[in-house]
Chains A and B, each alone.
Chain A
Amino acid sequence: MALQIVDGCVNCWACEPLCPSQAIYAAIPHFLIDAKKCTECDGDYADKQCASICPIEEAIVDSQGEALNPPGSLTGIPPERWEQVRAEIQAR
């Protein structure tokens, strides 16, 4: 049971200091999670810390490969509303 950082990570460092297990480390081309150390924050926090501060949708996935921050979750705009919101913003 471990989380994974995948392509899309922009190396912003936000997750690294928060990990209660020190499982996250800087690497090239992007940060990585040591699967042996990652506890998914069980016993430490209700929310998975790295995923709770990550600013990039789909950059952190669970052991099933499911994105913890799926598309639309961080902008607050579901993909199906994207075009409508874009039109509203451009009318400003």
Chain B
Amino acid sequence: MELTVLGQSQTTAPAAGGCASSGCGSNDDQLNHLPEHIRAKVHNHPCYSEEAHHHYARMHVAVAPACNIQCHYCNRKYDCSNESRPGVVSELLTPDQAVKKVMTVAANIPQMTVLGIAGPGDPLANPERTFDTFRQLTEKAPDIKLCVSTNGLALPELVDELCKHNIDHVTMTINCVDPDIGAQIYPWIFWKNRRVYGRKGAEILIKQQQKGLQMLVDRGILVKVNSVMIPGVNDKHLEEVSKAVKAKGAFLHNVMPLIAEAEHGTFYGVMGQRGPTHDELQELQDACSGDMNMMRHCRQCRADAVGMLGEDRGDEFTMDKIEAVDVDYAAAMVKRAEVHAAIEATLAAKAKAKVETQNLASLQTAFVSLSSLTLPKKESRPVLMAIATSGGGIINQHFGHAREFLIYEANAHDVRFISHRKTDLYCSGDETCGDGESVLQKTINALKGCEVVLCSKIGYEPWGMLEEAGIIPNGEHAMEAIEDAVAAVYKEMGEKGLLDKKPETKQRATA
């Protein structure tokens, strides 16, 4: 097998390339209550299991360009050299090319467990291309799980065909269960050879989505529901959506922020529809989490993303680079099985260590909790902190190098992962953006709501600007475990009396 053409020597990608946190909301506890057959379906799926996304990778192939509905947050001109955002794709593939690409990536990134078809259009509006790809992969690469994302319009008629393939999961985008709200999101759908506009179209779409969801659940397929949070349109409504899809048996709800920059050319972008602020998104996710498993580690990846969540190695696997590669898939499968076994062994060891630590902790608290004596008062308020890290669950990145910050919340009881915030995912951040805002200012805006930023090092200029914005820069916990450092800083803040009331924020209210 000759793979050096791809310019990467390792056959094992970094163990935690994408998300850097050890915690990352990854509580295995989230999965512990599930029946064994369901855990078996999600344990190595990075989009379904928060734990899995530290270890396993996914890829998308863009074989499905056509769409049967119009969403106001989508622009069907789906490529631009200057952007990298959800739904957008650089290279449209034929099913044969896609199969080639999947097998090459699977041989090179053995951690890749899941192949998804997620557009750029609707995969089920392109049934020939989607199912041709699935059919070939089911036969040629039986160790790869297949996954599909859909708006659900064509789902009911295709559910049975879908279930013939190596599929455990389906992602449906459901933004509403009320056609009046739907009419504000979907101007039209294409249904039974006609365009159907407004409320009537939305009503058909919603019915098909709910019917399709039910059919998938009845067949034992796990369903993740994606919802785009659109302020002033469906933000108040999504709690109801969450309840409705949970009642139907959806497995996971992923509320994602609307991305609507004017330069993306979407209807919402052009019309100046704003996206939610970090606070609004978090508040809604928290509100929905009472009823539903919530996904918080979603990176809204591109329709041709390759690698761990949070990274995109698509450039290494463009068709011109892989066309000449000859993949010995039988050999690759052996290698892949070894790598997967090693990951499972690591996870098992980690789980065992965790149980032991918990047992020890409960033993200690049974006597006297020394730590509780020094912790801040119980009524002290929670604090958000941003972490610059390049992986491994430790604070190990220079502030200026961070392209993503992990956001943690500390309160009197615990430290929990909240989300990640990209500083440059949707925009290159340079002068081409045209709004005159510096990269640094954008980063600081992205950290709105955080009171502390923890990093390995930080320069003089950003230090001053962060302080000016009311965020305390802190480089004293370099190379320490994130959760421990966050807890320590929170404790220090308590001792300094900083937790009694929220400091006046000087930050601008930009989303």
Contacts and interface: CB of A to CB of B under 8 A. Distances in A.
Interface string B378-394: 00000000000000000
A52 B76 contact: no
Contacts, number: 75
B267 to A, nearest CB: 6
Contacts of A13: 65-66, 92, 121, 126
Interface string A12-25: 11101110000000
A56 to B, nearest CB: 7
A22 B132 CA distance: 20
A55 B193 contact: no
Interface string B180-205: 00000001101001110110000000
B121 A92 contact: no
B48 interface: no
A53 B68 CA distance: 7
B350 interface: no
A82 B462 CA distance: 41
B456 interface: no
Contacts of B272: 86, 89-90
A53 B189 CA distance: 8
Given A47-B193, A89-B273, A12 B188 contact: no
Nearest to B67: A14
Interface string A43-85: 0011101001101100000000000000000111000000001
B65 A46 contact: no
Contact of B66 (A14, A45, A46, A85): A14
Given A10-B77, A92-B231, A76 B198 contact: yes
B78 interface: yes
B65 A12 contact: yes
B271 A52 contact: no
Interface residues of B, number: 30
Nearest to B270: A86
Interface in B111-133: 121, 125-126, 128
Say what secondary structure dominates the interface of chain A: loop
Contacts of A11: 65
A55 B76 contact: yes
Contacts of A53: 66, 68, 190, 195
A89 B333 CA distance: 52
A12 B267 contact: no
A75 to B, nearest CB: 6
A28 to B, nearest CB: 14
A76 to B, nearest CB: 4
A14 B99 CA distance: 22
A10 B76 contact: yes
A89 B197 contact: no
Interface of B: 65-68, 70, 76-78, 92, 121, 125-126, 128, 187-188, 190, 193-195, 197-198, 231-233, 267-268, 271-274
26 contacts: A12-B77, A12-B121, A13-B65, A13-B92, A14-B66, A14-B190, A46-B193, A46-B194, A47-B193, A47-B195, A52-B195, A53-B68, A55-B76, A56-B76, A74-B70, A75-B267, A76-B187, A76-B198, A89-B268, A89-B272, A90-B273, A91-B232, A92-B231, A92-B232, A92-B233, A92-B274
